[in-house]
Amino acid sequence: MTSSKSLSSLSVAAWVLAFALLAVFPLLPEPIGGKFHTELLAKVMIMAIFAASLQLLVGYTGLVSLGHAAFFGFGAYAVAMLAPMSEAGNGWLMLAAAVGGAGLLALVIGALVMRTQGIYFIMVTLAFGQLVYFVFHDTKIAGGSDGAYVYFKPALAIGGWQWIDLEQANSFYWFVLGALALTLGVLTLVLRSRFGHALIGIKHNEQRMRAAGYSTLLYKLASFVVAGMLAGLGGFLYAAQYGFVTPEILSWHYSGNALVMIILGGLGSLGGAVAGAFAFVLLSEWFSALTKHWQLLFGSFIIVAVALLPQGLAGLWARLPSSQRKEAA
Amino acid sequence: MDLTTFLIQCLNSVQYGLLLFLVASGLTLIFGIMGVINLAHGSFYMIGAYLAFSLSALLGSLPLALLVGTVLAVAFGYVLEWVFFSYLYDREHLQQVLMTYGLILVFEELRSLLVGDDVHGVAMPDLLAGSIAIGNGMTYPVYRLFVSGVCLLLAIGMYLLISKTRLGMMVRAGATNREMVQSLGINITLLYRVVFAVGVALAVFAGMIAAPVSSVYPGMGGQVLIICFVVVVIGGIGSIKGALVAALLIGFVDTFGKVLWQEGAGALVYVLMAAILLWRPAGLFKAG
């Protein structure tokens, strides 16, 4: 226990340092800071929110969902559907619709998919994700297969005071940073609560939890809804950043990418989700700069990673100190 | 909708359903027997379609292409199981998902590198290119009937193979209790490899035979994969009979959905799946 306690104070220090570095990043001089990198990093952080929300499901509750993009995409589409053509829309309303709508959708889908387990669960989440995809792709709700524009970034005013202007790249960046901090904070609180402990218990042995008197179905459903809401927050930020949504962000490739992120970073760790999102976005940027067929490199990378790194990057990290310790002994 | 149109749509439904069955049966076998979730299964269908396109151009005849393509597919499946899947059985589903997701990306990009991203058509063989009259001045293409017939023959063949032969017995036993089969001295490694190769060959064959009907395009693999998941979920994992019933059901729902309600057809099969899940969470037929 003592070692894990000292580790957790160490990790608090690491988090504070990481967020401090992220916060000053846009102020750094040109070759490091600058508009391009600031926007890229905002994108990374949005993906980190998405990945962290999936981590709650996959890494902590043990529910492998391949349809998580439905909630992310729904959040983004909520912004697009509520955005007026000629002026900035009410950002608070959009945010509430994105997070609340995604949560509601997660409640409905979750109630159905929780009837299944294992391989079934993977396939059924995938299929429901595709259902949402087809609803937006085939009907005229929001531009169909062409997608829809968000012409003005959502306006976040408090009593008429524009406290943060999302049109400004740096302000947007800090807003995303705040959202990421909020997401990780919420997830940390959830995981430290009795509820979170129950989720982890379910991951390890659902039958035992049920025998101990937990209605595991409700716990899993609640986890699904929380994850869906946070993914909706990510979707809100995505739509605000790009000003454009397409059905692509609802597709199962997007869900697959989020899974790749958390596995890359390491399961069952919030830091892993963030690290995985960093690695994913930066790797895909790098690969796509190398060649048009970057997915070939990326796919091969995934295959090799699965074959050689079953524990993800975080596993590599965890293995380092112990191997050094062995050498010292 | 008059009777002739109805008949035509019924024939289309059966043809689509049987085609789905060919792909889904391989998927459900691999699930049921090896416990592996294979996202790359749709890619085999895509590979089949592109094989039909490339081979029929190379060899000058579609039937010859079908034959050569199937042989290639068996060999491909055998090697693929060996290199990429043989160590996945003991891993968690999540790792299987990831590995096969990586394979999809690789297959799609290789396809893009080797054949390009264009949409292609594949000519029907001359013998089957005609159509027959079915009354009211309407005709139905012979090739679609041919597809249905071949798929039906394969379905019957598979039924006989699984329920009447020694190999089928081992496959059924392997699906029920892997350790028991192994301790009876059956080479489970080889059995898995053969089942996997057959599953791959079925999907590739379905892609090849469907190519003249459905044209050949990038992204066709992902589409068929997800519909096949729906088939497997509805039919029950590991059940060949369930896959057949569910595939036909989806064939009808999808085909008639497109005729009667264009906008909602894409979502309709998933609504059907949701309804069946509420009714029977383990699918219509349990494996066994």
DSSP structure string for A150-179: --SPPBEEETTEEEE-TTSHHHHHHHHHHH
- A204: amino acid identity, one letter: H
Q: For residue A131, give the nearest of B91, B109, B270 by CB distance.
A: B270
Question: Tell me: the pLDDT tens digits for B81-101?
Answer: 998 888 888 788 888 888 898
Residue A238 pLDDT level (bands cut at 50, 70, 90): very high
So what's the pLDDT on residue B14? Answer: 92
CA angle (B100, B281, B224) in 5-degree steps: 35
DSSP-H helix ranges across B30-137: 41-59, 62-80, 93-114
**A60–chain B Cβ distance below 8 A for any pair:** no
Mean of pLDDT values over A8-33: 79
Is residue A20 within 8 A of residue A254, CB to CB? The reply is no
So what's the pLDDT on residue A8? Answer: 64
| B279 exposure class (CB count in 10 Å sphere: 0-12, 13-18, 19+) | exposed
Contact yes or no for A124 and B104 at CB 8 A: no
- A233: amino acid identity, one letter: L
Rounded Cα distance, A87 and A47, in Å: 27
Task: Show residues of chain A in contact with B237, CB under 8 Å.
Answer: 119-120
Q: Which two tokens stand for residue B53?
A: 């396109």
Q: Within a domain: residue A37?
A: yes
Rounded Cα distance, B273 and B254, in Å: 12
Residue A318 pLDDT level (bands cut at 50, 70, 90): low
Q: Which of A112, A140, A204, A303 to mutate to test the interface with B (most CBs of B within 10 A)?
A: A303
In chain A, the number of structural domains is 1
Question: For residue A145, which of A159, A155, A135, A157 has the smallest C-alpha distance?
Answer: A135
Is residue A179 within 8 A of residue A237, CB to CB? The reply is yes
Rounded Cα distance, A119 and B37, in Å: 7
Rounded Cα distance, B179 and B201, in Å: 27
Question: How many CB atoms are located within 10 Å of the residue B259 CB?
Answer: 16
Q: Within a domain: residue A105?
A: yes
Question: For residue A142, which of A236, A73, A46 has the smallest C-alpha distance?
Answer: A73
Mean of pLDDT values over A96-109: 95
Task: Show residues of chain A in contact with B282, CB under 8 Å.
Answer: 120
Identify the contact set of chain B against chain A, taking CB-CB distances under 8 A: 31, 35, 37, 39, 84, 87, 91, 93-95, 97-99, 101-106, 108-110, 112-113, 222, 226, 229-230, 232-233, 237, 263-267, 270-271, 273-274, 277-278, 281-282
Mean of pLDDT values over A46-75: 94
Contact yes or no for A259 and B264 at CB 8 A: no
Rounded Cα distance, B164 and B157, in Å: 10
Mean pLDDT of chain B: 86
Q: Which two tokens stand for residue B221?
A: 């693999």
Contact yes or no for A119 and B31 at CB 8 A: yes
Handedness of CA B251, B280, A129, A258 (dihedral sign): negative
Quote helix, strand, coil % in chain B, to nearest 5: 75, 5, 20
Say what percent of chain A tops pLDDT 90.
31
Please give the residue range of the domain that contains residue A213.
Answer: 32-249
Q: Indicate the DSSP class of residue A27.
A: G
Question: Tell me: the pLDDT tens digits for B237-258?
Answer: 878 888 999 999 999 998 998 8
Q: Which of A121, A295, A308 to mutate to test the interface with B (most CBs of B within 10 A)?
A: A295
- B179: amino acid identity, one letter: E
A176 pLDDT exceeds 70? yes
| CA terminus-to-terminus distance, chain A | 22
A37-42, Cβ contacts within 8 angstroms, sequence gap of 24 or more: A38/A169, A38/A170, A38/A173, A39/A169, A39/A173, A39/A241, A40/A281, A40/A285, A41/A173, A42/A169, A42/A172, A42/A173, A42/A176, A42/A241
A88 pLDDT exceeds 80? no
Handedness of CA A81, A40, A56, A14 (dihedral sign): negative
| B45 exposure class (CB count in 10 Å sphere: 0-12, 13-18, 19+) | buried
Question: For residue A237, which of A105, A102, A72, A25 has the smallest C-alpha distance?
Answer: A72
3-state class (DSSP) for residue B125: coil
Contact yes or no for A115 and B266 at CB 8 A: no
Residue A327 pLDDT level (bands cut at 50, 70, 90): very low
Q: Indicate the DSSP class of residue A57.
A: I
- B181: amino acid identity, one letter: V
Is residue A72 within 8 A of residue A241, CB to CB? The reply is no
Bridge partner list, B247: none
B72 pLDDT exceeds 90? yes
Q: Which two tokens stand for residue A230?
A: 């946070």
Residue with tokens 């690491």: A14
Task: Show residues of chain A in contact with B37, CB under 8 Å.
Answer: 119, 122-123
Q: For residue A119, give the nearest of B84, B237, B264 by CB distance.
A: B237
Query: CA of B145: how far to CAs of A103, B136, B152, B209, B210, in Å?
Result: 47, 19, 10, 12, 12
Q: Indicate the DSSP class of residue B134.
A: -
Question: How many CB atoms are located within 10 Å of the residue A42 CB?
Answer: 24
The pTM (predicted TM-score) of the whole model is 0.84
Residue B47 pLDDT level (bands cut at 50, 70, 90): very high
Is residue B138 within 8 A of residue B1, CB to CB? The reply is no
Task: Show residues of chain B in contact with A134, CB under 8 Å.
Answer: 266-267, 270
Is residue B263 within 8 A of residue B215, CB to CB? The reply is no
Bridge partner list, B132: B140
Rounded Cα distance, A4 and A153, in Å: 43
User: Residue A253's closest chain B neighbor by CA?
Assistant: B101
A205 pLDDT exceeds 70? yes
Q: Which two tokens stand for residue A123?
A: 């396939």
Query: CA of B172: how far to CAs of A55, B22, B184, B195, in Å?
Result: 37, 18, 14, 11
Buried b (16+ CB within 10 A) or exposed e, B131-151: eeeeeeeeebbebbbbbbebb
Rounded Cα distance, A228 and A222, in Å: 10
DSSP-H helix ranges across A193-215: 194-204, 206-211
Task: Show residues of chain A in contact with B98, CB under 8 Å.
Answer: 259-260, 263, 302, 305-306
| B209 exposure class (CB count in 10 Å sphere: 0-12, 13-18, 19+) | buried
Residue B222 pLDDT level (bands cut at 50, 70, 90): confident
Bridge partner list, A90: A155
Question: For residue A202, which of A179, A189, A190, A219 has the smallest C-alpha distance?
Answer: A219
Is residue A233 within 8 A of residue A227, CB to CB? The reply is no
